[in-house]
Structure 1
Amino acid sequence: MLKSTILSTLFAALFVSQTTLSQCISVGNSLATSYVSNNSNKGEMFNIVATNTVTILCFDLNLILGSNGSYEIYYKVGSYVGSESNAAAWTLIGSNPSVPCVGFDTPSPMDIPINIIIPAGQTYSFYITANDVAQTAGIRYTNNAGYTTIASDANISIAGGIGKAYPFATNYNNRSFNGTVHYALGNVLPVTFIDFTATPINQSVLLEWETESENDSDYFEVERSSDGKNWDRLFITKAAGESNTLINYQELDSEPLDEISYYRLILVDLDGARTILKSVSLNNNLELVGNEILVFPNPTTEKVRVLGDQNELDNLKILNSIGQDISENVQIVSYKGYSEVNFNDQQPGIFILKTKTNSQILIKK
Structure 2
Amino acid sequence: MCIFGSHVVEAQVTPADLVVTVKTNIYIAEEPKVAVFASGHFDVYYESIPAGTSGVISPFNDGFVFITLPAPGEYRLAFRPRSPAPLNSIYFGANTPAQLLTIEQWGTTAWNSLELTFENCINLSAITATDSPVLTNLTTLAGMFAHCTLLSSAPNMKNWDVSNVRDMNQMFANCPLFNEPIGSWNVSKVTNLYGMFSNATSFNQPLNSWDVGMVTDMSFVLRGTPAFNQPLNNWDVSKVTNMVSAFEGAESFNQPLDNWDVSSVTNMFSMFFGATAFNQPLNSWNVGNVTSFGGMFYNASSFNQPLGDWDVSKGTDFNSTFVGATSFNQPLNSWNVGNATATNYMFYGASAFNQPLSDWDVSKVTNMGHMFENATAFNQNLGNWTLNASVDISNMLIPSGIGCPTYTSTLIGWANNPSTPAARSLAATGLSYGPEASAARDFLVNTKNWTITGDTFDAVCVSLPVTLVSFEVTREASAALLTWSTTEETNSDYFEIQKSADGKTWKAIGRQASNGESTVLRAYQYQDHGPAPGINYYRLKMVDRDGTFAYSRVQRADFGNRGYANVYPNPASETLFVEDYGHVREAVIYNGSGMKMLETGIVGPRGIDVSRLSGGLHTLKLTFDDGKAQSLKIIVGK
Q: TM-score, normalised by structure 1?
A: 0.36
Tell me: higher relative CO, structure 1 or 2? Use CA pairs within 8 A at least 6 residues apart: 1
Over alpha carbons, which structure has the higher Rg?
A: 2
